[in-house]
Amino acid sequence: MANKPLILVSNDDGITSKGIRNLVEVMQQIGEVVVVAPDSPQSGMGHAITIGNTLRLEETKIFGDQVKAYECSGTPADCVKLAKNHVLKDRTPDLVVSGINHGSNTSISVLYSGTMSAAIEGAVEGFPSIGFSLCDYAHDADFEHTLPYIKKIAEQVLNTGLPKYTTLNVNFPPKRNEALKGVKIVRQAHAKWQEEFDQRYDPNGRRYFWMAGNFVNHDKGEDNDEWAIANNYVSVVPCQFDLTAHHTISVLNDDWDIKVD
């Protein structure tokens, strides 16, 4: 294994999900695989980390004897942090991959996604990182059509690298009768969830709310991830964790006049 790249695998659907099993099997074809993933589903956790509570980490043989694997009680970001600082210790991963997520992480979902937060945490540490998602929420979703692309994209990143502090958000259309048309390097679509909160009451008469709503795509362009998925392409969006609106700095400096006497 000394000559093979070291690949760290995580996710947000939990270590027992079908998606991560498929991802581990593909990564085993490329390098030495170490898994640190949540012990239960952590979807929608975003980049949350565990503060003021215990974190538990237990070794597991869920992927067989050839894969060092650990299940963690924390969030996806916790998993990558523990992997770097405890599991791998003095070793540096050549690649961090997260997924394969059961469900889309296109457009605004990147901000809420635990899958992408694991990948972004890898980028924070300076590791080349990729998050993979399939636009199918079924627990028994068919990932077969994604696997050749996942291998090729991972190998491409290992061979050519990524700009530092950058991660890739890769989304796949669900399995259809026609083959995937290829890969599109695109931007994040201008789309969001329009939430609705259904007010309900539990058997004790206490009020609670159940979040629902619809996904609204405001983007009419053909250079974004929503268009790519709708047209049966694999979408690849380069992402960064620097949220500074750089173009606004000069605007504020020119237009604002804030002086305190």
231 annotated to a ligand binding site? no
**Binned average pLDDT, 10 residues per bin, the chain of 261 residues:** 88 97 98 97 92 96 96 97 94 97 95 96 97 94 97 98 96 95 97 92 96 90 96 97 95 90 78
In this prediction, residue 36 carries a pLDDT of: 98
Return the ∠ at Cα 52 (arms to 41 and 98), rounded to 5°. Answer: 30
12 annotated to a ligand binding site? yes
In this prediction, residue 2 carries a pLDDT of: 59
In this prediction, residue 174 carries a pLDDT of: 95
78 annotated to a ligand binding site? no
In this prediction, residue 260 carries a pLDDT of: 83
Domain architecture of the chain: domains with CATH: 6-190+221-255 (3.40.1210.10)
43 annotated to a ligand binding site? yes
C-alpha distances in angstroms, 224 versus 49, 108, 184, 219, 229? 30, 12, 9, 8, 9
